[in-house]
Structure 1
Amino acid sequence: MEKINRRSFINGIMVTGIVLQIPNTVLGMFPSKAKMVKASLITDLHHDIMHDGAERLEAFLVHVKKNKPDFIMQMGDFAYPNIKNKTLIDRFNHAHETALHVIGNHDTDAGHTKEQCLEYYKMPARYYTKEINGICFIVLDGNDKGSPTRKSGYPSYINDEQRQWLQQQLKTINKPIVVMSHQPLAGELAVDNAAEIQEILSSAADKILVAINGHTHIDCQLLIKNINYVHLNSASYFWVGSKYKHNSYSEEIHEKYPWISSTCPYQDALFTTLTINPTSGTIHIDGRKSNWVGASPAQLNYVEQIALAPDKEIVPFISKRNIQVTRKEK
């Protein structure tokens, strides 16, 4: 993770645990007797950092088998696209007939490429659309280079080509839309041209149900220009960095997986199910709670990201959330 930009935080309104409204026009785009859509989501597994990445994925897949969603999606920073991780990647891909992926910034670490991501993850393209039961899911790639304001760190940008494609999709799609990305489009660690992307999305607010991202390893929700943005927490940990290095597990584990010392791990894997119910006019995000393994960020006196607070946005859980469409009386 990179240092958080406070300016991007204060441009939005933080909301947690309340019911929000989305435009009635979106509800009107559903056909009569439209089916409910369920998506099981997991993000930031970081299998190549965590010693128990496979077990965390397995917990998610047990949940999938029980919950029977319409599709599953991992939202980036999953596992390096290589032969060593093929078994784990295939385990995800074979767990559901519709298994979707988003490319994260760490998926191309250690010399790996987006082309390898497409090959191993079985992705149709680095950004794409997928229609499920009358809802169009737009998947973006926030790893573009070419940002005029980027100074250091991983690329975090939606370039001209992809931006034009997004605008065209929003104009031509006449169905309810959900936008999925690894990097946030609003709030903490948002893409460099977040303001521009927010304007594009707000122009289609009558179609967009919600925008969901991973990457930040925090739990929060924002409402900006009539678009709900949800930051989905990591399956594995919160990154505190080398300044706060400590051991949460045995010395043997930390010796074999040294990067874990820069994290505060979650005891249990975090993931969720997104349920879109056109009959009730609601979008529901399941909550899932865990605990810290070892010292928490608060116990470490973590203060590096001043826009975030331990025990508020930096937490070992995913909050239960409801986004509601209200029907106007005729």
Structure 2
Amino acid sequence: MTFKFKTTMRRRFIRQMAVLLGGAGLSINSIPAAAEAAEKPRQVLRFGIMADLHHDLIKDGAQRLESFIDEMNRQKPDFIIQMGDFCFPKPVNRPLMDTWNRFEGPKYHVIGNHDNDGGFTHEQVIEFWNAKGKYYSFDVNGYRCIVLNGNERPPGDNSKGYPRSVLRAQCDWLEKEIDTTGNPVLIFCHQGIDNDSDGVKEGIYLRLLFENANKKAGWQKVRAVFSGHHHEDYMNTYNNIHYVQINSMSYQFNHLKDGYSFNQPKDALYALVSLDSKGTMHIKGRQSEHMTQLSAAELEDWKGYATTPVISDRVIKMG
């Protein structure tokens, strides 16, 4: 009698569940599929990035920028950013700025070491570009993006060459910007913070600042650091912080046995960066080939990063 009652109740429960699942357009077999779909990462943030156009140095800078802007308007990322060495702040470059401003979304600038060549000031550069500042931050889709100015000169420094410092006041501001957000952080700086060869002089200090910020937060708050300047294609990871070098849109350096020369990629180089809800970053870079092919006999036995006309595709686990 007891067994019959339990069996009857079990059958009734199964029939009721079948009706409920059927009414919802589901089946028992579909539950794992629905759970799997719920776990699939969703895209959180997407942005276009380019570096080192050097419009005042090359002949086809306008066309290269047009290629980038046209593609970004097709892709419709959340924002675009250029990593410096863009153009001088002079009237003849206003048509280039008109092209840049054709992008139908937020646009951000990083100051490069060549942007104030010819006696211009950083203030003139940011006014001409309509940039937010020499260094600044902005929040988008749950991320804090911090733009640095790696072109500061220490007081009393009269040395030749381009300044490549991030001084104390900016470092203090940077530390506060990281500390006061509960969001993951992306850093943008023209010069490499990971590259001690012509990178930011205070690179070691800044890397330690990022790592200490992550220790203080108790999680991987500073996720990635983007740079241009070096006209190369590489990535370094220090203590789970990813330092991504964005290759020049316009040219790379040939390391010759006798001096060096420029070599232009046939196509403009740029990338689309996507970050998903599971903390994975996808970089889709553009690849090309050099206009001039050099023989091995012309090139020195270069031990540094390769001279290559590509921005590599990457999948980076963060967080």
Alpha-carbon distance in structure 2 between the residues aligned to 1:40 and 1:241: 29
**Residue 300 of structure 1: how far off its partner (Å):** 3.2
Q: Tell me, what secondary structure is at the counterpart of 2:127?
A: helix
Amino acid paired to 1:207: K
**Residue 112 of structure 1: how far off its partner (Å):** 1.7
TM-score of the aligned structures, taking structure 2 as reference length? 0.79
Q: Tell me, what secondary structure is at the counterpart of 1:104?
A: coil
Q: 1:190 aligns with which of 169, 194, 199?
A: 199
Q: Tell me, what secondary structure is at the counterpart of 1:308?
A: coil
8 Å contact from structure 2 (residues 269, 285) kept in 1: no
Q: Which residue of 2 aligns with 1:27?
A: none
- Percent identity between the aligned chains? 33
Query: Kindly tell me: are residues 299 and 102 of structure 1, through their superposed partners in 2, closer, same or farther at Cα, counting changes over 3 Å?
Result: farther
Q: Which residue of 1 aligns with 2:32?
A: none
2:94 equivalent to 1:79: no
**Residue 240 of structure 1: how far off its partner (Å):** 4.1
The structure with the largest alpha-carbon Rg is 2
Q: Which residue of 2 aligns with 1:21?
A: none
Alpha-carbon distance in structure 1 between the residues aligned to 2:255 and 2:98: 31
1:178-217 matches, within 5 Å, as 178-187=186-195, 188-205=197-214, 206-217=220-231
**Residue 132 of structure 1: how far off its partner (Å):** 1.1
Q: 2:308 aligns with which of 309, 312, 315?
A: 315
**Residue 123 of structure 1: how far off its partner (Å):** 1.2
Query: Kindly tell me: are residues 92 and 192 of structure 1, through their superposed partners in 2, closer, same or farther at Cα, counting changes over 3 Å?
Result: same
Q: Tell me, what secondary structure is at the counterpart of 1:204?
A: helix
Number of aligned residue pairs: give it: 272
Structure with the larger RCO, 1 or 2 (CA within 8 Å, 6+ apart): 1
RMSD: 2.3
Amino acid paired to 2:94: K
Q: Which residue of 2 aligns with 1:224?
A: 238
Alpha-carbon distance in structure 1 between the residues aligned to 2:156 and 2:200: 12
Alpha-carbon distance in structure 2 between the residues aligned to 1:299 and 1:317: 23
2:61 equivalent to 1:63: no
Q: Which residue of 2 aligns with 1:7?
A: none
8 Å contact from structure 1 (residues 60, 269) kept in 2: yes
**Residue 90 of structure 1: how far off its partner (Å):** 2.5
Gaps in structure 2 of 5+ consecutive residues: 1-40, 215-219
2:52 equivalent to 1:52: no
Q: Which residue of 1 aligns with 2:287?
A: 289
CA distances 1:137-192 after superposition (whole Å, capped 9, x unpaired): 00000000018999542111100110111111111111011000101111242211
Amino acid paired to 2:263: C
Q: Which residue of 2 aligns with 1:163?
A: 171
Q: Which residue of 1 aligns with 2:274?
A: 275
**Residue 93 of structure 1: how far off its partner (Å):** 2.4
**Residue 297 of structure 1: how far off its partner (Å):** 8.3
